[in-house]
Amino acid sequence: MGQRLSPIEMIGRLVGFDTTSRNSNLALIEYVADYLRGHGIAASILLSPDGQKANLHAILGPDRPGGIVLSGHTDVVPVDGQAWDSDPFTVVERNGSLFGRGTADMKSFIAVALALVPEFLAAGALRIPIHFALTYDEEVGCAGVHGLVPKLALPATHPAVCIVGEPTEMRVVNAHKGIRVVITTVRGLDAHSSATHIGVNAIMYAAELIGFLKRIAEELKGRAQPNSRFDPPYTTVSVGTISGGTALNIIARECHFVWEHRIVPGSDEDEVLGRFRDFAEHEVLPRMRRVHPGSEIVIEEMAKVRPLVPLEGSPAESLVLALTRSNQTYAVSYGTEAGIIQSDADVPTVVCGPGSIMQAHKPNEFIALSEVRACEAFMRRLYEYCRA
């Protein structure tokens, strides 16, 4: 006899695993696999290349094409330095909400789907299969989902619809921006700060590169589409961190900064990075090398999250609108795994899950119990659709 937990109890179990992206998620994945196997559902654990993390894939119902994927990431962002009023990895109920890291982003969606498995099994056989797809390292560039895509793309069980349960307050999101994350390292030549003519100040040249990004960002604002559903309605560019130098009186030999741009679907995904590379290699680097031939500008792409391009009237959009009893779709500026699943696994995908993105990544992250109940109702309607 398999475990029977309420959705709230299952949320508590999943939040109790500290799956901060820097940690392994294997304990959570193994728990879910054991839970599903206890209910007679075979679960595949797909290890990361280093064996320290894993995705999970399981099918409830017949092994045939045309199923519906319930997809969610198991990792969470760090709590370091945040002022929490309670243990982030112990769910606490207060004032009609559940507090804990991952309650909103996005373990509650996964927990509700898993907790209702015994109820679904007792209700009768499915005509349409339901896939459970759990991933790792979404919060650090959607790295893990690529290992799951081949499983979803298998012709024998190829799904017709994917629902990524990121927090949308159970609204149907059919479009989101893409994300490119880049680290740029500038290496010059150190010298005494009084001898600026013989040194190459990496910080000064990095500042010039950042200024160029700022100019691109301002230009992109001017391309905003007046009827866009995105907020803001244009591709954005932002520098997140910068470090370099050793002392005030030493010309900095090295500086690196990490930056991102969030791309409106349909835009040229390579434009910003291409222009940046061209400026760095043809405008800035030659001036550095006139002083020190060994100067370098190294530009490395750390992550690439595909945009979710809207497929108006797709099976995913039509089904989830019906299940949420809604007639409106939304676009969001944050990224998810949905664009990768839709493009690489060729599965029409939407984003729809309980909770608010405004609570994600914050201290005292929470999900309202009303959102959990709304997700439960959604899952029950989904099951009836798959059984009918």
Looking at residue 347, what is its pLDDT?
98
pTM to 2 decimals? 0.92
Known catalytic residues are 75, 138
Looking at residue 28, what is its pLDDT?
98
3-state helix, strand, coil split of the chain in percent (to 5) is 35, 25, 40
Radius of gyration of the chain (CA): 23
Structure tokens, 228: 């866009």
Bridging pattern class, strands 254-263 and 178-187: antiparallel
355: left (phi over 0), alpha (psi -120 to 50) or beta: left
Looking at residue 226, what is its pLDDT?
87
d(CA 134, CA 117): 15
Looking at residue 136, what is its pLDDT?
98
Residue 309, classed as helix, strand or coil, is coil
Domains and CATH numbers, the chain: 7-176+308-387 (3.40.630.10), 178-305 (3.30.70.360)
Does the bond joining 232 to the residue before it have cis omega, within 30 degrees of 0?
Answer: yes
Q: What is the mean pLDDT of each run of 10 residues along the chain (388 residues)?
A: 93 98 98 98 97 98 97 98 97 98 98 97 94 97 96 97 98 97 98 96 98 98 92 96 97 98 94 98 98 98 94 96 97 96 98 97 98 98 94
Structure tokens, 150: 């081949």
